[in-house]
Amino acid sequence: MPKPDTLLQSRYLILHQVGKGGMGAVYKAKDIRLQNIVALKKTLLVNKSQRKNFAREARLLARLRHSALPKVSDHFFEDDGQFLVMEFIPGDDMAGLMERNGGKFPSDDVVSWILRWADQLLDALEYLHMQSPPVIHRDIKPQNLKLTSRGDIILLDFGLAHSGRSQMTTLTAQESLELAGYTPNYAPLEQIRGADPDPRSDLYSLAATLYHLATGVRPPDSLTRAAALLNKQPDPLQPARAINPRIPRPLSDMLNLAMSLNLSDRPESAAMMRRALRDVSRMLRPATAPLAETDEAESAISPSDEAAGMSPIPFAAADTEQIGLPVGTLRGAISTGTPILTIDLHPKGHLLAVGGEDRTVGLWKIPETTGGRSNPSLIRSLEINARSVRSLAFSPDGRLLIAGNEDKSIWVWRANDGQLIASPDAWMYPTEYVAFRSDGELLVTGGWGSTICLWRIQDDNNLAKHATLATSFVQSLAFNPDGTLLAAGCYDGTVRIWKVADGKPLRSLEGHGNFVLTVGFSLDGERLFSGSGSTIYEWQVSSGRLLDTLHGHTNFVRDLAFSPDGETLASASEDRTARLWRISDTALIHSIDEHTAGVTGVAFTPNGKTLISGSRDKKVRLWQC
């Protein structure tokens, strides 16, 4: 396999590997002739017959032009492999997106998004199937779907696309099976049995993929289903509606129909299936129109000291310095009873807000002590009637607590008593992140839409829309220390920076290998750190130059936090670790490995002696720094 900095064909400079499978790998590379980024897909099938078919397939794919398909620009043979050169699509695939959200679709608008993407994909399949000979993908699955910054879908992996029966007849049966490739949960029965490709095989795979997105459950493979029916047992494939009641019956029925084991029982063509789903979409409008506003959600505040399933475990007080404990020593934990998605600490350090998948925000009081261990108390649980809390932020003066949610609302409470002040429904998109400017006068929100919104805090603590900034899907936001700049980590793999005063773009930081889940400015404002994939990037703010990359995490970096003295960076990752880095030379200080699930949030206490981490294993932990 080619290593980074390898130059192929005196033209393509390998940057790094982005994927690997049993038949080859995919690389991110730079076309030094045209000075653009491309994807190189390498396969290891190199006998004479396969070389001939590969070249023919590459020429066919290079003629294809469709908005939902990556452009193929070149092909070549080198050493032990054959390479297909394609347009590089940044970001993670749909499988990675669901994994990051606990295996579920990350938005309440699951039906609207699925109908939108199904329409785009079926239009692409109709285009492919109408080619001469027909092009059949044969491996549609969540891993082969990517989102653009506008929320459109791209169908990938055309190294496994094959054209019609004429090509397959030139291969042996074993070569045909290997070259085709398939993933059992999404493959129709005829494909697993090695039969000739058929356009309706793609309809099965697409329906199985949409089923997974709609339910969060992989459909049973077709062999298991066939065996059950042969033994006169019920089909183990449950209707999508039975797993997710939000799925309307017509959509659920169409998915089941397209996943029929018998080829002849499926829709006759992609065009027919597309028309049927468009009818479903028209029936549901405007109730599930993508990116539509929702009604204002009702609030329910439950100021109890004990909440069901949320029993505290003794731990040391957060602001208590314990001399002599080594860095990374566990000082205590809170069991919250729900997978934790976000945390934020009050500026004074006495109150911790925890947002989870149970649609609540837990407010925990951290007692002040002079040493030893102490029991925190859950002073109240704020129920928001949203699918999950994506981000929390205390105002700099500690008076307000803001929650950004997947139901497109922004909730504002008084921090001292949990009184709901406002729940603006003017925001149009599910919110991934909320952040305050250091003076507390501006709040910024961003998420699944292509717009960032700046809100001004009014005297009555309500929010008034101040300005909007156009961007791609936003995963994270941060103001610089003096509030003059705003940075956004985006789904398209960029960090975009604006001047707050006039909203003008300053620059875009590119070169991330994945979407950017977290961003933060150093306390001196001179550097910006971003987490993308398993890597942390260090940038010079004044020039936009990449200074360094921090390696060590093995899964998504979800959150970053800076110590009050500005000398230490903390990172949280889905690899079940939190790490401490020295900012001066980006050296790793310590890796905290005791979590039993992904770590989603980190925060330093005001004195910098304790690091707080929140995890999907339902616990908040406190660590010595």
- Per-residue pLDDT of 28-38, as tens digits, reads 999 999 999 99
Which pLDDT does position 305 carry in this prediction? 30
Which pLDDT does position 424 carry in this prediction? 60
Q: Residues of 420-438 as b/e, b for ≥16 C-beta within 10 angstroms?
A: ebbbbeebebbbbbbbbbe
Kindly tell me if the per-residue pLDDT of 240 is higher than 90: yes
Q: Give mean pLDDT, residues 494-507.
A: 95
Which pLDDT does position 331 carry in this prediction? 78
N-term to C-term CA, the chain: 42
Handedness of CA 145, 146, 147, 148 (dihedral sign): negative
Phi/psi for 297 (5° steps) reads -80, 150
- Whether 406 and 428 have beta carbons less than 8 Å apart is answered as no
Q: Domain locations in the chain?
A: 1-88, 91-292, 305-624
Which pLDDT does position 149 carry in this prediction? 67
Beta strands, E only, 22-160: 24-31, 36-43, 72-78, 81-87, 135-136, 145-147, 153-155
Count of CA atoms in the C-beta half-sphere (13 A) of 441: 7
Which pLDDT does position 376 carry in this prediction? 59
Pick the CATH number of 91-292 from 1.10.510.10, 3.40.50.300, 3.30.1550.10, 1.10.600.10: 1.10.510.10
286/540: higher pLDDT:
540
Kindly tell me if the per-residue pLDDT of 393 is higher than 50: yes
- Look up the CATH number of domain 305-624: 2.130.10.10
Using DSSP's 3-state secondary structure scheme, residue 582 falls into: strand
Which pLDDT does position 132 carry in this prediction? 80
Kindly tell me if the per-residue pLDDT of 314 is higher than 70: no
Domain 1-88 = CATH 3.30.200.20: yes
Active centre residues (catalytic)? 139
Which pLDDT does position 200 carry in this prediction? 96
Minimal CA–CA distance to 204: which of 144, 257, 155? Answer: 257
189/51: higher pLDDT:
189
Which pLDDT does position 186 carry in this prediction? 94
Q: Residues of 351-383 as b/e, b for ≥16 C-beta within 10 angstroms?
A: bbbbbbbbbbbbbbbbeeeeeeebebebbbbbb
User: 0.75 cut: is pTM over it?
Assistant: no
Mean pLDDT of the chain: 82
Which pLDDT does position 505 carry in this prediction? 94
Maximum mean pLDDT: which of 18-32, 176-190, 494-508: 494-508
**β-pair partners for 478:** 487
Lowest-confidence pick of 9-13, 181-185, 268-272, 349-353 = 181-185
Which pLDDT does position 507 carry in this prediction? 94
Indicate if 91-292 has the same CATH topology as 1-88. no
pLDDT bucket at 104, cuts 50 / 70 / 90: confident
Percent of the chain with pLDDT over 90: 47
State how far the alpha carbon of 164 is from the alpha carbons of 122, 168, 300, 493, in Å. 18, 7, 58, 36
Q: Give mean pLDDT, residues 342-359.
A: 91
pLDDT bucket at 347, cuts 50 / 70 / 90: very high
Lowest-confidence pick of 49-53, 73-77, 321-325, 395-399 = 321-325
pLDDT digits (tens, 9 = 90+) for 412-446: 999 988 888 877 655 667 788 999 999 999 999 99
Kindly tell me if the per-residue pLDDT of 510 is higher than 70: yes
State how far the alpha carbon of 21 is from the alpha carbons of 25, 46, 157, 447, in Å. 6, 16, 12, 32
Handedness of CA 59, 62, 66, 67 (dihedral sign): positive
The rounded distance, in Å, linking the Cα atoms of 192 and 365 is 57
| Assigned token pair, 536 | 């942390």
222/54: higher pLDDT:
222
pLDDT digits (tens, 9 = 90+) for 361-391: 999 887 554 344 444 568 888 877 666 788 9
Burial category of 572 from C-beta neighbours within 10 Å (exposed 0-12, middle 13-18, buried 19 and up): buried
Which pLDDT does position 497 carry in this prediction? 97
The whole-angstrom distance between residue 565's C-alpha and the CA centroid of its chain comes to: 32
| Count of C-beta atoms within a 10 Å radius of residue 298 | 10
Percent of the chain with pLDDT over 70: 85
pLDDT digits (tens, 9 = 90+) for 136-171: 888 899 999 998 766 788 998 754 344 433 232 222
Which pLDDT does position 311 carry in this prediction? 30
| Count of C-beta atoms within a 10 Å radius of residue 308 | 10
pLDDT digits (tens, 9 = 90+) for 179-236: 345 688 999 999 888 787 789 999 999 999 999 999 999 999 998 999 889 888 999 9
Which pLDDT does position 359 carry in this prediction? 81
Q: Which residue has the tokens 């709609």?
A: 214
Q: Give mean pLDDT, residues 94-102.
A: 79
Phi/psi for 328 (5° steps) reads 90, 5
The rounded distance, in Å, linking the Cα atoms of 444 and 464 is 11
Amino acid of residue 103: G
Beta strands, E only, 214-285: none
Which pLDDT does position 22 carry in this prediction? 56
